[in-house]
Chains A and B, each alone.
Chain A
Amino acid sequence: MDFRLNDEQEMIRSAVRELALNDIEPIAKEIDAESRHPAETIKKFAEMGIMGMMVSEEYGGSGSDAISYAIAVEEISRVCGSTGIIVSVNNSLACYPIEKFGTDDQKNKFLTPLASGAKLGAFGLTEPSAGTDAGSQRTVAQKEDGHYIINGSKIFITNGPVADTLVIFAMTDKSAGMRGITAFIIEKGMPGFSIGTEEDKLGIRGSQTGELVFQNLIVPEENRLWDEGRGFSIAMQTLDCGRIGVAAQALGIAQGALDRSVQYAKERVQFGKPIGKFQAISFMLADMETRVQAARYLVYSAAFAKDNQKKYSKEAAMAKLYAAETAMDITTKAIQIHGGYGYTKDYPVERYFRDAKITEIYEGTSEVMKMVISRALGL
């Protein structure tokens, strides 16, 4: 068992880190303050092949392993949590289901532009009455000759307001419960599809989050992803991949906050010496470093499981659960170490603190993660 990253993974880390420091960090505060989508950064990601990292070259992707993907999301989130989730959603929630469940025609038409970064993706599962209870969908898809008519709405959709291609879910058979849910690929501009409320959030404010509204949206049959009734299965498998992305985002947020805290502890002088020389602070940082490293190994082992096992739901759930809680812990302590300054917008740690919280909630709350893990234990 080799705990080291290989040279390819190390180079991916250093290339993404360089991009992050040069191009993402300088605008991180601004996109948070203005709730602005960083289109110029997405363009650079597209050029670098980051938007479809794990997708095969045949469909415009980079063909990387999952650990490299986790590293990329981590390094981006280390400077900007908002930008990190934009990349994660495109890769895990849009590219992944189409590559795994799509026909060759669907892959050519929809996957290649998403993987190459020419188009931006989103995933529409959550509804006002269907969050953790994702199976209780109200959006319906009525089948007529050669097409489906979709009515309903989705909320809290990351990238929703700016996405070109979306994987959404609707009930084709209300009597069948979870087995009556079907997945569809829709595109911005289709008549009957509009964006509703855009959320005003606590954190990840550079990430656009909004409501999708379907009013007699006509979707051709060839846009249906896999078979009718397979939607819930697609959603659950897709979320396993998504959880690796979110876990990597949380890890990056934690690492970024830790970086700042170590730096501050070396610079801030009180009682004649840097505060890092006091054990109250150095011991706190020692605990933080240990926790972040533990989270890191859970994230990488989940990524490794994805590439080497048929099912990796438990590993992905553990990684997300632990990394999200770690991000909360580290960012809270980061503000504490910074003291009063940390509570102001002059220092970035308050942004990391606000960004961390959502990682305990989206793509499956920490409670859902515990359900997945305990089920894997046979309970």
Chain B
Amino acid sequence: MNIIVCMKQVPDTTDVKIDPKTGTLIREGVPSIVNPDDKHAIEESLRLKEKFGGTVTVVSMGPPQAIDALKEVYAMGVDDTILLSDRAFAGADTWATSYTLGMGIKALGEYDLIFCGLQAIDGDTAQIGPQLAEFLDIPQVTYVKKVNIEGNELTVVRALEDGHMTVKVPMPALLTAVKELNRPRYPTMGGIIKAYREHETKVWSASDIEAEPANIGLEGSPTQVKRTFAPEPRGKVEIIEGDSAAEMVSGLVDKLKEKNVVR
């Protein structure tokens, strides 16, 4: 099975702070990590490879520093890593990014499965997977929390807000992974050493993947992010009164039941 996984290096937003004056993210000094949902996609791909043989290739679009993230996933056990990097890719929205990744994947050749994380923790759009599948004209299933392959048949379980849905998908197909899918393995010591001493990430430019200049970067982006900000908190605070802790807790539970947060 040849699997391609799309990965993004993102700032670790769990640690990130908002600048009180501008309301935007303070990116300085924030460590960069492999996007968490992408790790679940990589883990599942490695498990499928262990079961069925084949290769796992990870592709990323990003600046040169993204090579560190690619080394980390190489150390998890993937076979090859590709970085699509070019000044011309800068300023891309999800549309231009999907096009770029799609052209990179086309340059890679045949595949059985494309796996993406559900969404990136910095952009939070969840648009790349679906747009990429449309660009490549292959079926897609998002919110995948379980993958089963028997013979040549791929069946996945899709997480819904109030349940789940089992879907049979012909391959090649694109899946996006949620965190319930698996627990990603750690990179191994030997893997890390090979990643730094032996392995070379292939770096491809716009011309390497024959990308049309009009479709990439800022030029190829129909949307632009004008401002990112933390919204002002709205709503009022309600203090729950009571004579004892037990009474206050009971009052709280009643309120939560009213709002359908608990049953």
Say whether A and B bind each other: yes
Contact surface of A with B, Cβ cutoff 8 Å: 6-8, 11-12, 15, 18-19, 44, 47-50, 53, 57, 61-64, 68, 72
Q: Are A62 and B189 in contact (CB under 8 A)?
A: yes
Of the candidates A12, A44, A47, A61, the one whose C-beta lies within 8 Å of that of B192 is: A12
CB distance from B116 to the nearest CB of A (A): 23
CB distance from A115 to the nearest CB of B (A): 10
Of the candidates B186, B191, B197, the one whose C-beta lies within 8 Å of that of A18 is: B186
Q: Are A63 and B193 in contact (CB under 8 A)?
A: yes
B196 touches A (CB below 8 Å): yes
Identify the closest chain A residue to B197 (Cβ). A8
Please name 9 further chain A to chain B contacts, defined as beta carbons within 8 Å, in addition to the given A8-B192, A68-B193, sorted by A numbering: A11-B75, A11-B187, A44-B186, A49-B189, A57-B190, A62-B189, A62-B190, A62-B193, A68-B189
Contact surface of B with A, Cβ cutoff 8 Å: 68, 71-72, 75, 185-193, 195-197
CB distance from A203 to the nearest CB of B (A): 27
- Give every chain A residue within 8 A of B195 (Cβ-Cβ): 8, 11
> Secondary structure of the A side of the interface?
helix
Bound-state Cα–Cα, A6 to B192, Å: 12
Q: Are A49 and B196 in contact (CB under 8 A)?
A: no
Identify the closest chain B residue to A51 (Cβ). B189
Bound-state Cα–Cα, A50 to B197, Å: 18
Q: Are A64 and B68 in contact (CB under 8 A)?
A: no
Bound-state Cα–Cα, A8 to B75, Å: 11
Identify the closest chain A residue to B196 (Cβ). A8
Identify the closest chain B residue to A54 (Cβ). B189
- Give every chain A residue within 8 A of B188 (Cβ-Cβ): 47-49, 62
Q: A15-B186, A47-B185 are in contact. Are A8 and B193 (CB under 8 A)?
A: yes
Bound-state Cα–Cα, A68 to B187, Å: 14
Some 23 contacts from A to B, beta carbons below 8 A apart, are A8-B193, A11-B68, A11-B72, A11-B75, A11-B187, A11-B196, A12-B189, A12-B192, A15-B72, A15-B75, A15-B187, A15-B189, A44-B186, A48-B188, A49-B188, A53-B189, A61-B190, A62-B188, A62-B190, A62-B193, A63-B190, A64-B193, A72-B189
Bound-state Cα–Cα, A15 to B71, Å: 12
Q: Are B192 and A11 in contact (CB under 8 A)?
A: yes
Q: Are B186 and A19 in contact (CB under 8 A)?
A: yes
Bound-state Cα–Cα, A18 to B184, Å: 12
Interface centre among A48, A50, A57 (most CB of B within 10 A): A48
CB distance from B223 to the nearest CB of A (A): 34
- Give every chain A residue within 8 A of B185 (Cβ-Cβ): 47
Q: Are B189 and A48 in contact (CB under 8 A)?
A: yes
Bound-state Cα–Cα, A6 to B190, Å: 16
Bound-state Cα–Cα, A130 to B195, Å: 46
- Give every chain A residue within 8 A of B189 (Cβ-Cβ): 12, 15, 48-50, 53, 62, 64, 68, 72
Interface centre among A12, A19, A57 (most CB of B within 10 A): A12
CB distance from A11 to the nearest CB of B (A): 5
Of the candidates B186, B196, B197, the one whose C-beta lies within 8 Å of that of A48 is: B186
The 6 A-B pairs with the shortest beta carbon distances in the complex, nearest first, are A62-B189, A49-B189, A8-B196, A62-B190, A49-B188, A49-B190
- Give every chain A residue within 8 A of B197 (Cβ-Cβ): 8
Identify the closest chain A residue to B188 (Cβ). A49
CB distance from B75 to the nearest CB of A (A): 7
CB distance from B191 to the nearest CB of A (A): 8
Q: A7-B68, A8-B197, A47-B185 are in contact. Are A15 and B192 (CB under 8 A)?
A: yes
Interface centre among B72, B195, B196, B197 (most CB of A within 10 A): B196
Bound-state Cα–Cα, A11 to B195, Å: 10
- Give every chain B residue within 8 A of A50 (Cβ-Cβ): 189
- Give every chain A residue within 8 A of B75 (Cβ-Cβ): 11, 15
CB distance from A290 to the nearest CB of B (A): 23
- Give every chain A residue within 8 A of B192 (Cβ-Cβ): 8, 11-12, 15
CB distance from A59 to the nearest CB of B (A): 12
Bound-state Cα–Cα, A8 to B187, Å: 12
CB distance from B8 to the nearest CB of A (A): 18
- Give every chain A residue within 8 A of B191 (Cβ-Cβ): 49
Bound-state Cα–Cα, A73 to B45, Å: 31
Identify the closest chain B residue to A53 (Cβ). B189
Interface centre among B71, B185, B186 (most CB of A within 10 A): B186
Identify the closest chain A residue to B31 (Cβ). A14
CB distance from B167 to the nearest CB of A (A): 31
Identify the closest chain A residue to B67 (Cβ). A7
- Give every chain B residue within 8 A of A49 (Cβ-Cβ): 188-191
